[in-house]
Copies of this chain bind each other. A is one copy, B any other.
Amino acid sequence: MFLKIMSSLDTQEKIKARAISLFNEHGTGSVSIGRIASEAGISRGHLQYHYANKQELIRAIYQDIAAEVLSNWEGDDKQPTVRHMAEMFVRQFHYVWKYRFLYREMVTLIRVDSELARRIRDNRARRIEAVIKFFRALARNRVLKKLRGEESLRYLVMITWIFCDNWLNFIEIQGNEINSQTLQEGYDHIIEMLYPYLTRQARESIYESYELIRFPQPLT
């Protein structure tokens, strides 16, 4: 019984991994359930035993992404430093790259699946509040200067958020290759935006935080 469950989980992991890779390469619209099954080395029927259709499969993948992302964002506000801020941004860029099909097609995907939309909205709302909490902690820890008010802080978080979610899409639309350099440039843009709000000490420690960004894991 235990072995059977393990093997079933392994199959699901294999299906999801192949699906993510195919969706990233060709888009969710052009990849059929049959093709995913074939590339995962199983029958279509076997795949559909686990996921009845593409919508169910995409929901399952999203559930994994959400769990991965949320687990890593836990307690960010306990480390309100420039170094940790850099780690957060670079981590976010990595997620956007790893699950790029989701960030490219998000609006389309949520328009055709209201249950997926609900999950994405709930998770984003929680994460946005977590980032706002982190920025407040940065202000308390004198990384950020005193802002003009709670609304200013919220606006800065939104701009940073929209930028992080869309920087790699932007590069792709420009027709440029995405590599470690691209992530560094994305980070440079964020720093440029936050620069007027950084304290003198924070500006000085930006250079330390660079080490993190120059050597990301290779993008695959």
Given A106-B169, A193-B193, 20 additional A-B pairs, CB 8 A: A104-B108, A105-B105, A105-B107, A106-B173, A108-B108, A110-B172, A117-B175, A120-B173, A121-B174, A124-B174, A125-B174, A152-B192, A155-B192, A158-B189, A159-B163, A161-B170, A162-B163, A162-B167, A165-B166, A196-B196
For the complex formed by this chain, how many copies does it contain in all? 2
11 residue pairs bridging A and B, Cβ less than 8 Å apart = A27-B111, A107-B169, A121-B174, A155-B188, A156-B192, A159-B192, A159-B193, A162-B162, A162-B163, A166-B166, A196-B197
Chain A stretch 173-220: residues in CB contact (< 8 A) with chain B:
173-175, 188-189, 192-193, 195-197
> How far, in Å, is A43 (CB) from chain B's closest CB?
27
Contact B159 A108 (CB under 8 A): no
Cα distance A106–B149 when bound, in Å? 35
Q: Does A1 make an interface contact (CB < 8 A)?
A: no
Q: Chain A interface (Cβ within 8 Å of chain B)?
A: 27, 29-30, 104-108, 110-112, 117, 120-121, 124-125, 148, 152, 155-156, 158-159, 161-163, 165-167, 169-170, 172-175, 188-189, 192-193, 195-197
Asked, given contacts A159-B193, A162-B170, whether A108 binds B105 with beta carbons under 8 Å apart, the answer is yes
Flag if B159 contacts A189 (CB, 8 Å). Answer: yes
Q: How far is the CA of A159 from the CA of B125 in the complex (A)?
A: 22
Q: How far is the CA of A172 from the CA of B108 in the complex (A)?
A: 10
* A111 / chain B contacts, CB cutoff of 8 Å: 27
Bound complex: CA A111 to CA B189 (Å): 25
What residue of chain B has the Cβ atom nearest to residue A118's Cβ? B175
With CB as the reference atom, state the residue of chain B lying closest to A167.
Answer: B162
